[in-house]
Structure 1
Amino acid sequence: MPFTISEIIVLFFTYSVVGWLWETFYCSIKDHHFAYRGFLFGPYCPVYGFAVTTILIATYRVQHSRILLFLVGIIVATVFEYVASLFLEKVFHMKLWDYSHLWGNLQGRVAPQISFFWGIGVVLLVRFIQPFIQRVINWEEAHTHGILALLVVLVMGTDTVLTIFSVRHFHTTTQQWEQCAVAYREKLKQRLATALPEEQPALAQRLANWHTDLVKWRAELRLRRLNWNERRLVKSFPKLKVLDAKHFNELKKDLMKRE
């Protein structure tokens, strides 16, 4: 093992924060508004921490070769991204990224273009960034003797538990909206089927814009409001999909305008 357990924890935390900073900066510029990225509450993206730490351990014996470093980096990063996507979908019923529009993608979870840039990133990371980060961690380990690693476990562990509760609440909320949307659409379809000819255009228009009406009448229908973290997830991840609430995915844009 090239790193101690304490070093692995601090490396994981460091690159989780670096990943959060990068995603927040990039997405804020791209979306023209501040995007508080990350799945957890705190300013870190564990997927980057897990990915980079795994890559550093897996590529430790091939660091002398840029080609091997590039190839191993592609393999490890691609497998990790696929597993992370599968985990989010199966456990939390959520899809945070979708590469379906890219050539050669696999179930929208990974794509050759993304994996290629992962490979380049791994070479840059291992050759130029990690040596500096490792010197900082060596200094920290010599002075704190693992205390920082313990704090990381406590803080991120607590954050993970709170996030699980928050995501479960979010799932319950989306199910309520989904059930109401299905009932509302079915009611409009039945009215349209029995309506007089002069009434049909107006009803057809309402059916086409059902999500606008549903959001407008949210209070009367006693539908749950999204809390801060739920609004953040929807706003910061425009491609977010709740896999068992397809109607919620259609109305979330209208919902965010009124939240």
Structure 2
Amino acid sequence: MTQQQTAALSGPRQAEAVSPENTPGFFARGVNFYKLFWIFLGVSFLGCLVETAFMLLTRGELQNRSGVIYGSFSLVWGLGAVLFTVCFHRLARRSSLLILLAGTALGAAYEYACSWLQEVLFGACFWDYSHLPFNINGRVNLVFSLFWGVAAVLWVKCAYPAACRWIGKIPNGAGRPLTMVLAALMAFDIGLTSAALGRMNQRQHDIPPAGPVAQFLDAHYPDRRLEAVFTNLTYIGTDEAREAAGVPRPNDLPGQ
């Protein structure tokens, strides 16, 4: 390469030229499964650490903010990063205000859906905003929705490019098999967690175990173990449990 060509590639162009995206056969080129999985894994882990540190600093409580039984991974954070990547990765050159507004709306809808699904599937409540102003059914509120918008701006402008560079450091030959192994382990962890929480919900409704799988879950993942793992979990799957927890029904919230 001539001196003139080297100078022409200075700054952003040079960074683009040496980007792993331009490597022939790079396993995580573009927005594909491999890149999305590593984004999910990394942000899930970092998000869990951030939430744990936040609760320790603001409330003096050491809580496990993980969303799975094994490991420290916040699925809400990880899936949120994947969602923002898929929807906003082409908006890096657009205005921050546009990304902020779009991220606020998408983040609020995403958080609402996560809260609703957790309650419907497992009778579980991991957060409740019914005591905060400008909330919708206690599942989302204005302030935290704006946080999603700010997170979208930071993700598109700063964090996503940094994540791509970090993923680019993974050896190309090992990228695909390593991704598949870790993805299988994570899928097992999520599946086991879902089954254990679902069985916990059944126990609260006095449903006896039906088959060896349910018996295994009762023996190895009883309520006391799940409560110890998910320290921020509140069970609201029955009227009695909801009343004891002080979590109102959506239609009982003020203004509904």
Evaluate the alpha carbon distance shift between residue 137 and residue 251 of structure 1 in structure 2; reply closer, same or farther with a 3 A threshold.
closer
Secondary structure of the corresponding residue to residue 79 of structure 1: helix
Matched, 1:236 2:232: yes
> 8 Å contact 1:174–1:248 — kept in the other structure?
no
> 8 Å contact 2:99–2:152 — kept in the other structure?
yes
Superposed CA offset, 1:43-68 (max 9, x none): 10111111111112211222212111
Greater helix fraction, Structure 1 or Structure 2 = 1
> 8 Å contact 1:170–1:226 — kept in the other structure?
yes
Superposed CA offset, 1:98-128 (max 9, x none): 1112222111111111111111122122222
Measured in 2, the distance between the counterparts of 1:55 and 1:23 equals 19
> 8 Å contact 2:132–2:141 — kept in the other structure?
yes
Matched with 2:20 is: none
Matched, 1:171 2:201: yes
Measured in 1, the distance between the counterparts of 2:88 and 2:121 equals 29
> 8 Å contact 2:40–2:79 — kept in the other structure?
yes
Aligned residues: 202
Q: How does 1:39-188 map to 2 (within 5 A)?
A: 39-41=67-69, 42-64=71-93, 65-140=95-170, 142-175=172-205
Measured in 2, the distance between the counterparts of 1:251 and 1:139 equals 47
Secondary structure of the corresponding residue to residue 97 of structure 2: helix
> 8 Å contact 2:123–2:236 — kept in the other structure?
yes
Measured in 2, the distance between the counterparts of 1:91 and 1:232 equals 19
> 8 Å contact 2:91–2:156 — kept in the other structure?
no
Identify unmatched segments of 5+ residues in structure 1.
Answer: 177-224, 253-259
Identity of aligned residues (%): 23
Shift of residue 74 of structure 1? Answer: 1.1
Secondary structure of the corresponding residue to residue 227 of structure 1: helix
Identify unmatched segments of 5+ residues in structure 2.
Answer: 1-28, 207-221, 247-256
Measured in 2, the distance between the counterparts of 1:154 and 1:104 equals 40
